[in-house]
Amino acid sequence: MAVLVRGGTVVTADREFRADVLCDGDVIVAIGENLDAPAGAEIVDATGRYVMPGGIDPHTHMELPFMGTVASEDFFSGTSAAAAGGTTMIIDFVIPAPQENILDAYKKWRGWAEKAACDYSFHVAITWWDDTVRDDMGTLSTEYGVNSFKHFMAYKNAIMCDDEVLVNSFSRARELGALATVHAENGELVYRLQQEMFDKGLTGPEGHPLSRPPEVEGEAANRAIRIAEVLGTPVYLVHTSCIDALEAVERAKLEGQRVFAEVLAQHLIIDDSVYRDPDWRTAAHHVMSPPFRSPEHQAALWRGLQSGLLNTTATDHCCFCTPQKEAGKDDFRSIPNGTGGVEDRMSVLWHHGVTTGRLTPSEFVKVTSTNCAQIFNIYPQKGAIEVGSDADLIVWDPNESRTISVDTHHQNIDYNIYEGMTVTGVCKTTLSRGRIVWHDGELRTERGTGRYIDRPCFPKYWDAQMLKNQQAEPTPVDRSGSK
Ligand code: URP
Ligand code: ZN
Ligand code: ZN
């Protein structure tokens, strides 16, 4: 059925204008003033509201098996919660266990995701290396629409990559025209510091940030970026959380390297004081990696987002309920790492970003949707309001407020890291490929209506990246005349 979004102000990454938006089937079919509604069309009144591209969250982990348990949010509940908050697409992660065939893992995750209620795609993690991994990266990129491969530089004895894997995989990604993405923390240092904290009697969640200081992230960010530079591979840093990593990104960008960086909404908004909460559960709820940081780092992250050093915002939505967190009651190293937030990203960023004047509405669209669509090569199918684009739209009330709470959220987790926070900026209506899935507080998502989105590799701009390394093409010294 057609849907006419009438009377709103359309906000895209580059402008704001008054227009109606007509959707039919999966896509936007007309944009303009005073559009006629086709017979039978549903009308959404957007008067006094903004009409924006649905959010894209480039970093979620629905039903992830991790640290001896499985994330509580599945692809249906998670994408439904996302829709309630104005996010219409997620990019989740296939994370094969070491030695697991990566194509088999990918197919397993595709099966799990069939229940999704909004569109989704997958980064594929490279957790080990041999020729089958090399070949399967090729198959994934050419036949399954995967243009990004993830590397965990932390989580020793589990999914951590050493430099040999990084070098092999980055090099292969370059060959394929795919993006290398990294979780940048030095896993060896984390392992050592965790042991030191534990031996000092710091067994509670307060030991977690002390074992993952900013330097640990800065070292890994710099190493990943330098490896990518030498190999000519574009690289994307997930969850950049501190000045040390930002400095590595800044230096590389100023040197002309193709580096992208993501920041999590929660790292911008919540500081590291949470780990000293007297209630063990509250502190444990915030155990995630990298950890929450001090206000000094948060201020730098905001500046990074405002200046374009940080390109995208995400949530790393990876929910573990309190009983799951209690696996680490006596040892913080066993608390499953992860927090929720897929439902709240758009609101908290609007509130703390736009209402404070840090971001304009168009900049908000860039960092919540368009930049992600462009970096991961699905623009303008996603991240745009254009005729022919997928009708993933939100109607946003910039003046309405709501108070975030576990009692009212739609996420499958028994706490909310933003509990009690009142935010101005509320998603009134969400359209997922032309279907109204959220309207005036009513969730209308349907199991299985989400679609897998192919992300083709990027042959076009890869060669420019390589030029940097080819400028000083080495030549052997001719010693034929010497004795
Ligand atoms: O603590 C986190 N971030 N858990 C999810 C896995 C990851 O590192 O992204
Ligand atoms: Zn991570
Ligand atoms: Zn993650």
pLDDT digits (tens, 9 = 90+) for 197-225: 999 999 999 999 999 999 999 999 999 99
Neighbours of ion ligand 2 (CB under 5 A): 183
CA of residue 287 to ligand 1 center, whole Å: 9
Cα 203 to Cα 21, 189, 278: the distances in Å are: 55, 18, 14
Burial degree of 169 (CB within 10 A; 0-12, 13-18, 19+): buried
Asked if residue 464 has pLDDT above 70, the reply is no
Distance CA 352, CA 354 (A): 6
Mean pLDDT of 292-308: 98
Asked if residue 469 has pLDDT above 60, the reply is no
pLDDT digits (tens, 9 = 90+) for 447-456: 999 999 999 9
Burial degree of 15 (CB within 10 A; 0-12, 13-18, 19+): exposed
Query: What's domain 53-386+453-462's architecture?
Result: Alpha-Beta Barrel (3.20)
Residue 472 pLDDT level (bands cut at 50, 70, 90): low
Residue 301 pLDDT level (bands cut at 50, 70, 90): very high
Please state the pTM of the whole predicted model: 0.97
CA of residue 153 to ligand 1 center, whole Å: 11
Asked if residue 467 has pLDDT above 80, the reply is no
Asked if residue 465 has pLDDT above 80, the reply is no
Asked if residue 183 has pLDDT above 60, the reply is yes
Tokens 């549903």 -> residue: 42
CA of residue 202 to ligand 2 center, whole Å: 23
Burial degree of 439 (CB within 10 A; 0-12, 13-18, 19+): middle
CA of residue 253 to ligand 1 center, whole Å: 25
Asked if residue 149 has pLDDT above 70, the reply is yes
> Residue type at 168?
N
Beta carbon of 315 within 6 Å of any ligand 1 atom = no
- Percent of the chain beyond pLDDT 90? 95
CA of residue 183 to ligand 2 center, whole Å: 5
pLDDT of 232: 94
pLDDT digits (tens, 9 = 90+) for 30-89: 999 999 999 999 999 999 999 999 999 999 999 999 999 999 999 999 999 999 999 999
Asked if residue 483 has pLDDT above 80, the reply is no
pLDDT digits (tens, 9 = 90+) for 303-330: 999 999 999 999 999 999 999 999 999 9
CB 110, CB 143: distance < 8 Å: no
Residues 282-317, buried b or exposed e (16+ Cβ, 10 A)? bbbbbbbbbbbbeeebbebbbebbeeebbbbbbbbb
Q: Domain locations in the chain?
A: 53-386+453-462
CA of residue 304 to ligand 2 center, whole Å: 19
pLDDT of 53: 99
Burial degree of 100 (CB within 10 A; 0-12, 13-18, 19+): middle
Beta bridge partners of 259: 235
Beta carbon of 288 within 6 Å of any ligand 1 atom = yes
Task: Phi first, then psi: give them for residue 94, nearest 5 degrees.
Answer: -85, 125
For ligand 1, atom 7, which residue shows the shortest CA distance? 289
Rg (CA), the chain: 22
User: Closest by alpha carbon to 148, among 236, 253, 43?
Assistant: 236
Distance CA 86, CA 396 (A): 8
> Residue type at 53?
P
Mean pLDDT of 420-440: 98
Beta carbon of 125 within 6 Å of any ligand 1 atom = no
pLDDT of 403: 98
> Residue type at 113?
A
- Percent of the chain beyond pLDDT 70? 97
Mean pLDDT of 349-361: 98
- The secondary structure of the chain, three-state, reads CCEEEEEEEEECCCCEEEEEEEEECCEEEEEECCCCCCCCCEEEECCCCEEEECEEEEEECCCCEECCEECCCCHHHHHHHHHHHCEEEEEEEECCCCCCCHHHHHHHHHHHHHHCCCEEEEEEECCCCCHHHHHHHHHHHHHCCCCEEEEECCCCCCCCCCHHHHHHHHHHHHHHCCEEEEECCCHHHHHHHHHHHHHCCCCCCCHHHHCCCHHHHHHHHHHHHHHHHHHCCCEEECCCCCHHHHHHHHHHHHCCCCEEEEEEHHHHHCCHHHHHCCCHHHHHHCCCCCCCCCHHHHHHHHHHHHHCCCCEEECCECCCCHHHHHHHCCCHHHCCCCECCCCCHHHHHHHHHHCCCCCCHHHHHHHHHHHHHHHCCCCCCCCCCCCCCECCEEEEEEEEEEECCCCCCCCCCCCCCCCCCEEEEEEEEEEECCEEEEECCEECCCCCCCCECCCCCCHHHHHHHHHHHHCCCCCCCCCCCCC
Residues 352-386, buried b or exposed e (16+ Cβ, 10 A)? bbbeeebbebbbbbbbbbbbbbbbbbbbbbbbbbe
> Which one of 316, 319, 333, 417 would you pick to mutate in the ligand 1 pocket, going by the greatest count of ligand atoms within 8 A of its CB?
316
For ligand 1, atom 4, which residue shows the shortest CA distance? 338
Asked if residue 463 has pLDDT above 70, the reply is no
Among all bound ligands, the one having the nearest atom to the CA of 155 is 1
Q: Which atom of ligand 1 is nearest to the CA of 93?
A: 9
Question: What integer best gives the mean pLDDT of the chain?
Answer: 97
